[in-house]
Structure 1
Amino acid sequence: MNQYEIRADFDRDTIVVYQAFNDAIATAAVGAQRFVEPFSLNRMTWIKPSYRWLMHRSNWARSAGQERILAVRITRAGWEEALGRAVLTSPERRVYGDAARWREQFEEAVVRVQWDPEYSIRNVTLDHRSIQVGLSRDIVQRYVDEWVVEIRDLTALTHKIFGHLRDGRVDRATALLPPDKRYPLAENLAKRVGAG
C-alpha cells in the first residue's frame, strides 16, 4: 500500500466521508438529511474518508462534542472539486518545491489537506497515512447545499464495534467496519494533494 493513498467507501457517483459531532448538530443533520443549525457555516469543517481514523480521533464516539458519528455520502464531483482546490497544511517539498511557493498558495486556500497517521482497529499506528480535508467557510456552503447526498448515523454501530473490541472479539469488530478500498485519483489531483 502506498504511504499516501486515499481509501474510502465509494461508488461510481458518490463517496462516504465521516464526521463526529455533538448530539444537537447530529440530530438536526440526520433529521433534515442536510446540515442545518446548529451546524455552523462560518468555520472550517473537516471531512475524512477513513472511519478508523475518526475512531482514533473521537475515541470511539466517547470524546466530548464527538459523541455522534455520521457517515456523509457526498458526490464524487464535489469531493474532487475540493481536492482540486486544496493546499496541504505544511510545505511538503515533494509537492511545492519551496516554502515560499506553498505559503503564497496556503494564504489563499479555501480547502486544506493534511495527511495523518492511519490507525488499525486496535488503535495502533500504521505505516500509511489518512487524508483529512478541511473545507473553509468559503466553500462549506457548497458542501451543505450541493454535495451531500445522504447522512447516516453510525453511532449505534460504532458502540457495537467498540463493545466487541472491549470484550476481545476483534474478528467480530472488524467484520462490522465500513468497507474501504483505494480511491482512484487523476494524476493532477494526486499531485495536488501529495498522494502517491
Structure 2
Amino acid sequence: MAEPRYRIRALHTDSTVTVYQAYTPEIGLPAAREDRFPAVWQRDRMTWIKPSFLWMMYRCGWGTKEGQETVLAVEISREGFEWALEHACLSHYEHGLHADRATWKRRLKRAPARVQWDPERDLHLQPLAHRSLQLGLAGEAARLYADEWTVSITDVTSLAHAVHAHVRDGDLDAARQLLPRERPYPLSDGAMAHLRP
C-alpha cells in the first residue's frame, strides 16, 4: 500500500513521542547527561524538531556537519507534541487551505509553532515521494518544550555513525535493523486538517 503523502511517522509510546535534533557538543552533551537542555540553550529562538531519524541524518550529515556533531533523541510528552500541532501554522501559504495570504501571515506571526513537510529520506538520504514533518517551536512552545514537555534526552550520535557505516559498506539490511521503529502517529484527520497542504 502506498504511503500517504502527509503523515506523521514517529517512535512513540502511549505517553511520549521521540523527536531528533543535532547540536554542538557544548549543548548536546550536557543536555543528554542532565536529561534537560542547559541554560545556554536559547529558549527565545525558534527550534526545529523532527520525528524522522533519517530526515535528521540528512539534515546533520550523520552527525558530521559543523555545529551538529551531537545527535539527540528527545522524548517528549504526547500531550505537548499534540498541543504544538494544534497551535501550529503551515510555514508556507497554501491556496485553498488559508483564506488568503494576509490571513495566513497573521496566523503564522501569532502561532507558537509552525509545520513544514519535507521529502522523507531513504538510507542513502535520497528524497522519497512522501513527506516528513518538521515542527518549529518558538516563544511559548520553545520554553514548554525545553522545560516541561521533555521527558528524556539521549545522545544517539553513535547510532547515527553505526547506521552510516553500514550504509557505506553497502549492508542496508544491517543499517535498517538499527533504525528506530517509526510508525504512523495516531492523530485524527480533523487534528491535522489545518496542517495538510
Matches of 1:137 and 1:21, distance apart in 2: 20
1:1-196 paired onto structure 2 within 5 Å: 1-194=3-196
- Aligned 8 A contact 1:83 1:192 in 2: no
Q: % of aligned pairs identical?
A: 41
Matches of 2:138 and 2:91, distance apart in 1: 13
Matches of 1:170 and 1:139, distance apart in 2: 37
Matches of 2:15 and 2:103, distance apart in 1: 34
Deviation at 1:75, TM superposition (A): 0.4
Q: Deviations for 1:157-177, whole angstroms, at most 9, x for unmatched residues?
A: 111111111111111111101
Deviation at 1:60, TM superposition (A): 0.6
Deviation at 1:51, TM superposition (A): 0.4
Q: Let me know the Cα RMSD of the aligned residues.
A: 1.2
Instruction: Write the letter of the residue equivalent to 1:157.
Output: L
Matches of 2:173 and 2:32, distance apart in 1: 30
Deviation at 1:94, TM superposition (A): 4.1
Deviation at 1:151, TM superposition (A): 0.7
Matches of 1:74 and 1:94, distance apart in 2: 32
SS of equivalent residue, structure 2 residue 74: strand
Q: Deviations for 1:49-78, whole angstroms, at most 9, x for unmatched residues?
A: 000101011111110001111100000000
Matches of 1:134 and 1:190, distance apart in 2: 16
* Structure 1 gaps, min length 5: none
TM-score under structure 1 length normalisation: 0.95
Matches of 1:8 and 1:190, distance apart in 2: 15
